[in-house]
Amino acid sequence: MTQKAHNSPESSHPGRLLGYARVSTTSQNLDVQLRALTEAGVPAELVFTDKISGTQADRPGLAALMAEAREGDTLVLYSLDRLGRSLVHMVTTIDELIRRGVALRSLTDTIDTTTPAGRFQLNVFVAMAEYQRALIVERVQDGLEAARARGVQLGRKSPITPEQVR
């Protein structure tokens, strides 16, 4: 099966292809991701990179990508987890891109929001992330409630002693 050229007149998303590649440490290599992105048609000058943990919200390459991305563009990733390790941050970033009219294509996860199936897959992914986040919040609340029931003092200690209060 042949795919339409991304910038062809038939393409439903005629903007530029932007790429993002990330590895977690400076000793790791970006070569595999960079090769995959350029083979997918992303111009080398439009590939943004970071050598930093995906748990870090402040990533210069991702910030530059977000500043560059505009309506009609497609962000191409080697895999979805390159956007980050924090599910909440990934979903927030994806949501911002989609709201700005930027499509998303993950090469190894076969998600492509320029297609109906890809949008469906992404919606399932986001719904699962929201569900997982809700479960985490529920577990934390249950833990806090159990600690209070055991008489555990939550929060930081007051700088004012009970004697000072009186």
Could you give the residue numbers annotated as active site?
Answer: 24
H or E element, residue 131: helix 116-149
AA letter at 115: T
H or E element, residue 18: strand 17-23
Which residues have a Cβ under 8 Å from the Cβ of 44 and sit 6 or more positions away? Answer: 34, 38
Q: Which residue, 66, 94, 70, 72, is CA-closest to 81? A: 94
Largest CA distance in the chain: 80
Contact 60, 13 (CB under 8 A): no
Cα–Cα distance for residue pair 75/64, rounded to 1 Å:
13
